[in-house]
Every structure is written in C-alpha cells, then in structure tokens.
Amino acid sequence: MGCCSCFGFSRKPRRVFRPVSRWIDYPSREPLLDEDFEDEGDPSCNDEGTDTAQEEDNELRSRAKCSEDILHYREHNGLICRQFPVKETNNLMRFEDEDGNKMVNEYVRERKIGSGSYGKVALYRSQADGKHYAIKAFHKSHLLRLRVAPSETAMTDVLREVLIMKMLEHPNIVNLVEVINDPETDHFYMVLEYVDGKWANGGSCLPGGMDENTARKYLRDIVSGLMYLHSHNVVHGDIKPDNLLVTSSGTVKIGDFSVSQVFEDDNDELRRSPGTPVFTAPECCLVSDSTGPTYHGKAADTWAVGVTLFCMVSGNYPFLGETLQDTYDKIVNNPLILPDNINPDLRNLLEGLLCKDPEKRWTLEAVSKHVWVIGEDGSIPRYLCWCRRNSLERTELNGTDEAKDTDKTSTDQIS
C-alpha cells in the first residue's frame, strides 16, 4: 500500500523543482503533452558553455557512450533476445510503380499514418509477402543537425533506438523487421510491424475514460512488456498512451524507443529526462546538485504507467498545470486526488503507482500481483523470451551431461 505522506495526508514543506533543461515555460498546455518541441534559445546554452553545462555534457556523453557500448557488445556477441535477427539492407531504390505509388525497395507506399519523434511514419505494403508494415523515414542530414543534448544529436537517439529494438522480441512490443540504410543516400528507414489500431481517439487521454475491464486488459499488456524491457536492463523513458498501440484484437504493443536507455546491470541511474512533461516522475523535476537531478529510470517508467492508468480510467491527467513550471510544481507538491466512488482496489493500485517517493513506489512485480490487475484473468503470464529459453535449454543440457558423467562414474565404480 502506498505511504500516506505520498498522497498529501500529512503536512510537509513545498519542494523546489526545476524544469528539465530541454523545455522552457510555454504559454500553451499542448507541449506539456508532447516531448517533441525544441528549446527556444535559452541564453544559458551558448557555444562557450558554463562549468555546469560542461559537467552535464560529460555526463550525457558518458551515458550515451555507455549505452552504445553495451548494445554493440550484445550485438557482436550474439546476446540478443530474438529468434530471427533484424534484416539489414544497405541498398536503397526509390521509384514509382506503374500506378504512380511511391516505392522503397519492395515496399509500396499507401498512406501516411503519423509522425514519430524525428520522422514521418507511413503505411507500406510489401510486394514480397503482401503484408503491411509501418515505415519510419528519416533524413540523416536532418538528424545530425538536430541537437537534443550538448553532445548528442537526434541521430544518436535513432541509432540507439535501432540497436535496442534489434535486441528485443516480445508480443507486447512493436517488432523491428528491417533497417534500410544506404551509405550513398541521405535516407534512413525503419521497417516495423504494422499495428492496425491505435489508442482510441489517437490522443493521450480519453474523454470520460474507458471501462475498468478494458483498462485492466491494457494495463496487463503494458506491465508485461515493460517488465520484459526492465529484465533486459532497458528503460523506455516515454511511456504514455501515444506510444502504446492497440491491435484490432485488443493487444497493446509498446512503441517508440527513441529516448530509451540500456544498462549493463541494475544501475539504472539517469540524469537526462527527455520524456513527456505531464508523464514525468516527481524525482525528475527536483533540484539537485550542480550536475543536475538524478533518478532511477525503472521507477520513472513505473510512475508513467500510473499516469497512463489514471488517464485510461478517468480521461484526465493527475497533474496538469497551465504552464510547464506549473505542471512540474503540481507533480512535485500536489496530492493525488481520486474520485470518492472509485473502486477501492483501483484506488489502492493508483496510489501505489503514483507514490511521489520513488523508494516507496510500487514495483512492476508488485503491480503484476495486485488484486485489481489479476481480476478474473489470473496472474499476468510470464513470457518465456528467446534468451531465457536458450539459457534454460543450456542448463538442461548441462544437467543431462552431468547426469551422464555421474552414471558413467557410478558404472566404473561398480565394474
């Protein structure tokens, strides 16, 4: 159960917060719901830089390098959780078919279906297998010019997203099928499985919310996919309804790994918090020392799951101000307010997920065993991922070999 002080039942001094450096105080509330806007000339961010900026730059460079090193090590040593590797294509052909439809290699463009963090997403049909795919298209020159941190460009994020998705395979995660990167062109494509549905109304919140049974089903899928990510030391960094696609059969798949990070072990400490403001955890808004705030990525992901669940059942955000700073102030200082007539089990779950103290916030493991989450469907099934399956097979094989050696020793002793 969540701690009482997390929900404003005891008096405590208001805590100072600071907006994450990637955002400024916007007059409109719209950017609070979207991470995809740029810093408009903060005078503290100049070419010369301050000592603090240089320290943050070093930290960001170190973390980015760490993630890339880990991912490259896993890739080169076959430490991936996929039965079949992602197809990598270095030759690009762009032309039109006889009907005037644009084509990218074997894929025929049908229509635009959205925009990702740094590029457009369109629906394509493969002439090879007849299936539909969602293709994210980028211009490498644009990615290299777009700076997302002092030492990182959007290209860093996209390449890290590709490396992460090449490691993963899970029924509740959007699958990366192919990467098309011709060194002779400026074009870069990610071919993804096409999820034929999207979050209802295509927005981050639903007017009036949804029924509890649907919200429960969606949450179970989200938790299953996110537990898989965390078990593979991946922090998503931007869990929200817009990044959760729903298939026609009602299965939720987590997408958009453009701000995700990977870790070598359980040390998931981060400083850069590039997710969406209204889904940002309290610890990501607080003032820290001169090197910037630190927080644990997995706990921040879990908070975002809580905000998403709140959105699903209420159609509103738990903490949303008129400006960015006002929103962060409410996230840090305001108590969680829930309707009086809410299901007591659901209330208990939301209080555990939206506990402002990350040390007392519920873990996804605890959430997966919660009575409201279990409902009538039982515990969330544990997906036996490919790398875990291989590990178990090797263990069984070693056990068989050891048994044979034991039997042989026993036979030799008898003879």
pLDDT of residue 381: 85
Angle at 278 between CA 272 and CA 284, to 5 degrees: 30
pLDDT of residue 305: 98
Q: Which CATH number fits domain 51-193: 3.40.50.300, 3.30.200.20, 3.40.1280.10, 2.60.40.2250?
A: 3.30.200.20
Please choose, from the candidates 50, 61, 65, the residue with its C-alpha nearest in 3D space to the C-alpha of residue 290: 50
Please choose, from the candidates 274, 243, 253, the residue with its C-alpha nearest in 3D space to the C-alpha of residue 173: 253
pLDDT of residue 258: 86
- pLDDT per position as a tens digit, 334-352: 999 999 999 999 999 999 9
Taking domain 13-48+197-374, whether its CATH number is 1.10.510.10 is answered by: yes
pLDDT of residue 65: 54
Please choose, from the candidates 212, 338, 353, the residue with its C-alpha nearest in 3D space to the C-alpha of residue 282: 353
272-299 mean pLDDT:
77
Domains 13-48+197-374 and 51-193 share a fold: no
Using the Cα atoms of residue 84, residue 88, residue 93 and residue 95 in order, give the sign of their dihedral: positive
Report how far apart, in Å, the C-alpha atoms of 347 and of each of 82, 125, 290 are. Answer: 38, 44, 38
- Tokens 């810093």 correspond to 39
Please choose, from the candidates 354, 263, 340, the residue with its C-alpha nearest in 3D space to the C-alpha of residue 303: 354
- pLDDT per position as a tens digit, 193-214: 999 876 654 445 555 689 999 9
- pLDDT per position as a tens digit, 214-255: 999 999 999 999 999 999 999 999 999 989 999 988 999 999
**CA–CA distance, 388 with 393 (Å, rounded to integer):** 9
Q: Contacts from 384-387 at CB under 8 Å and sequence distance 24+?
A: 385/81, 385/169, 385/170, 385/228, 385/232, 386/80, 386/81, 386/82, 386/83, 386/169, 387/79, 387/80, 387/81, 387/232
Higher pLDDT, 269 or 303: 303
Q: Assess whether pLDDT exceeds 80 at residue 117.
A: no
**CA–CA distance, 357 with 331 (Å, rounded to integer):** 12
Q: Among the options 157, 238, 256, 329, which is catalytic?
A: 238
Told to judge if 238 belongs to the known catalytic residues of this protein, a careful annotator would answer yes
Instruction: List the domain boundaries for the chain.
Output: 13-48+197-374, 51-193
- Residues of the chain above pLDDT 90, percent: 53
Structure tokens at 112: 């635009």
Please choose, from the candidates 229, 373, 219, 359, the residue with its C-alpha nearest in 3D space to the C-alpha of residue 299: 359
Please choose, from the candidates 238, 237, 271, 259, the residue with its C-alpha nearest in 3D space to the C-alpha of residue 53: 271
Sheet holding 87-89, edge to edge: 87-89, 176-181, 187-193, 132-139, 120-126, 107-115, 102-104, 94-96
- pLDDT per position as a tens digit, 158-193: 999 999 999 999 999 999 999 999 999 999 999 999
